[in-house]
Amino acid sequence: MTAIDWQDYQAKSQDFKDKIIMITGAADGIGRAVTIALAEQGAVVLMLDKKARHLEKLFDDIVARGYAEPIILPVDLMDVTPESATELAQAVYDDIGQLDGLLHNAADLGSPSPLDQYDMEYWNSVMHTNLQAPYFLTRALLPLLKQDHTTNILFTSADVGRQAEAYWGAYSIAYAGLEAQMTIWAEELENISNIKVNSIDPGAVRTSFRRRSHPGESQESLPTPQSIAQAYLKVLSGEHDFHNAKLVV
């Protein structure tokens, strides 16, 4: 793991101005914080999430602040197939013509339990949302990410994906697969494109997801999504030497 030295990072005006960046799970938590931070820097964020009403409120919030106007993509990752991912990529190409960054941030916790008792509906949901859908989207959007300048694919990861723990079930297994997917994408693209591929583990953050995964935990001392958003911006800016790195905030 590589720790990100991001606390002193200051985005430059050219880092994100008019860049097009897609974020999954953009409606709340870390996705929301990164979306706002990018829009503030002039990036057009393609906000992908199943929570359409939350996306609409976020859109209004960003516009009210005078930041770059985002684009709403009300998509449930459970509905993403290779075909629908290709259709989405084609729509981005037809309407915008470019993509400069892709942040896979959406996640499904499932129901932590022993593997021999794991609910199969939860299993399918977690594996599809956390592992399969990111692959379908990355594969479909890859031609748009192959630019003359540096572009970035960034996966939000989790410690249980690198060090499996009992009772984390499908969530831990999916993120182990996601780390492998990140590494393979990075190695395969390193010498044939300007795409940098990394993962980032934000650690414990004060989010609704954390409250569900660690019920009863006091969150008062945990960092907020807003306080770590700059770590994501540093990686998405491309102004770094990270490539095929498992990063930790």
- What pLDDT sits at residue 132? 98
How confident is the model at residue 208, as a pLDDT? Answer: 73
Domain residues for the domain of 161 are 2-23+89-248
Does a structural domain hold residue 77? Answer: no
Predicted local distance difference test score (pLDDT) of residue 223: 86
pLDDT of residue 33: 97
Q: Is the whole-model pTM more than 0.85?
A: yes
Neighbour tally for 87: CB within 10 Å: 12
Domain count, the chain: 1
Two tokens, residue 180:
């492998």
In a domain, 220, yes or no: yes
> Residue 50 falls within a domain, yes or no?
no
Residue pLDDT tens, the chain, 249 long: 788 888 788 887 788 999 999 999 999 999 999 999 999 999 999 999 999 999 999 999 999 999 999 999 999 999 999 999 999 999 999 999 999 999 999 999 988 899 999 999 999 999 999 999 999 999 999 999 999 999 999 999 988 888 888 998 999 999 999 999 999 999 999 999 999 999 999 977 787 777 776 777 677 788 899 998 999 999 999 878 888 878 888
Residue 171 included in any domain: yes
At residue 215, φ and ψ (nearest 5 deg) are -60, 140
Classify burial at 50, counting beta carbons within 10 Å of its beta carbon; exposed 0-12, middle 13-18, buried 19 or more: middle
Residue 215's pLDDT is: 74
In a domain, 80, yes or no: no
| Domain contains 239 | yes
- pLDDT score recorded for residue 177: 97
pLDDT at residue number 68: 97
CATH number, domain at 188? 3.40.50.720
Bridge-based pairing state of the strands 101-104 and 44-49: unpaired
Q: Is residue 236 part of a domain?
A: yes
pLDDT at site 218? 76
Domain-embedded: residue 45: no
152, containing H or E segment: strand 151-156
Query: What amino acid positions are annotated as catalytic residues?
Result: 171
